[in-house]
Chains A and B, each alone.
Chain A
Amino acid sequence: MKDLLAVVMLLGIYSLLSASFFVAMDAVDVAFTEAAVGAGISTLLMLVAITMTGRKEHHARHKPLLALAVVIVTGSLLIYGTLDMPYFGSAEAPIHQHVAPRYINDSMQEIGVPNIVTSVLASYRAFDTFGEVVVIFTAGMGVLALLSVVRHPEDTAKIDSINHSMHEQHLILRIVSKIMIPFILLFAFYVQFHGDFGPGGGFQAGVIFASAILLYAMLFGMSTARRVINQSLIQILAATGVLLYGSIGIVSLLNGKEFFDYSALSADPVAGQHLGILLIELGVGITVASVMVIIFFNFADRRDFSPKKENKDL
């Protein structure tokens, strides 16, 4: 398929479908992440990338037979590998024997958080999650280093006049999004702070928060959004989230416990776990939201900067 927009749309549909089968398999947290990240924001970022690169794929000069062969060989090896795996849902599978019983049986006493996924993600496996946050942060820094352009300060009156001229065309969208954005932000906060009790957490909340800002930027123009969202503040926030996460680990180290052992944070171990999970989820949320905004804004800036300008407003 040569039309990249159609490819991106298909990918989004696929993400949404896989989110539904995650729900069917009772993995609501994973489904939530897939719906927010896979179907939501990554589709959006790819669309921005397409506005930068153009919609059609170039004709390939040669047939990609080698790539096809590599894919087929790798795929059949992977399928061959699955033959040794235990049957799906089998109770004897190693994954159900190793640490899962401890998570299911003891996490309520040890962590005291009803959502086991959150306690695994944020406490038992806090170090892995820290790695994920650092990866996201690194992605944001990479985009900043490679794609950021120096912007000249824009004329306020000009921005206003452009916005005014676009107002008629986008009237309905703008009004509806103005109604919706506060609720999207509120929902993001709900997901953020309710992650201990229900599905949710920093990653999903950050993405939802960022998507509200992206919606605003798309409908009201990049220049207006840039006036609302201070770019250097966003960059500082992205670093602050990672720093907050890491410093929780340092605090528990300094108190004589292991790295990311939150029971050091308070006299009562369970209260300490609660506090620790809340704080690191906050760090995750801040970093994810700001990195998404950074990536989007830098992609869009680069698009304005590129010489072959499309006259299509996003």
Chain B
Amino acid sequence: MDTLVNISSTVLLLIGSFLFLSGGIGVLRFPDFYTRMHAVGVTETLATSMILLGLILHNPDFMVDVKLIIILLMTLFISPTASHALANAAIHNDLSKQKDDKPDDEVKPSNP
């Protein structure tokens, strides 16, 4: 039983780390704003959930588990919303696809 829990938590942590890594590589490698955001937005929620689940399995203390579950719920709410807000702001400011591949000026302010 103990070995099973350990193995599954390790597997979950590894999957989470892999997803984070792939998201990070995606941010660096993808050509424009939307694809970069796609790389992070999709992987982030799943990766965080995986890592938190792994930690919950890993941790015997009940109160810590409850706190981790609360963090998990918060993440499930907040990170998709943050991605949505980012994409929405980009569309709102007429950021077209394939405009540039410099990360510096991603969200251009609309002309007043």
Hey, which bits of chain A sit against chain B, CB under 8 A? 3, 6, 55, 169, 172-173, 176, 179-180, 308-312
Contact = CB atoms under 8 A, between A and B. Distances in A.
Interface stretch (B13-21, B36-44, B80-88): B80-88
Nearest to A6: B104
B58 to A, nearest CB: 18
B110 A312 contact: yes
Nearest to A183: B74
Interface of B: 74, 77-78, 81, 84-85, 88, 92-93, 104-105, 109-110, 112
Secondary structure dominating the interface of B: helix
Nearest to B91: A169
B104 A180 contact: no
Contacts of B88: 169, 172-173
B50 to A, nearest CB: 20
B109 A176 contact: no
Contacts, number: 30
Contacts of A176: 77-78, 81
A39 to B, nearest CB: 15
A172 B81 contact: yes
A312 B112 CA distance: 8
Given A6-B104, A180-B77, A180-B78, A173 B112 contact: no
Contacts of B104: 3, 6
Contact of A172 (B74, B84, B110, B112): B84
A169 B85 contact: no
A179 B77 contact: yes
12 contacts: A3-B104, A3-B105, A169-B92, A172-B81, A172-B84, A172-B88, A173-B88, A180-B78, A308-B112, A310-B109, A312-B93, A312-B110
Nearest to A184: B74
B106 to A, nearest CB: 10
Contacts of B78: 176, 180
B93 to A, nearest CB: 8
B3 to A, nearest CB: 30
A187 to B, nearest CB: 10
B110 A311 contact: yes
A5 to B, nearest CB: 8
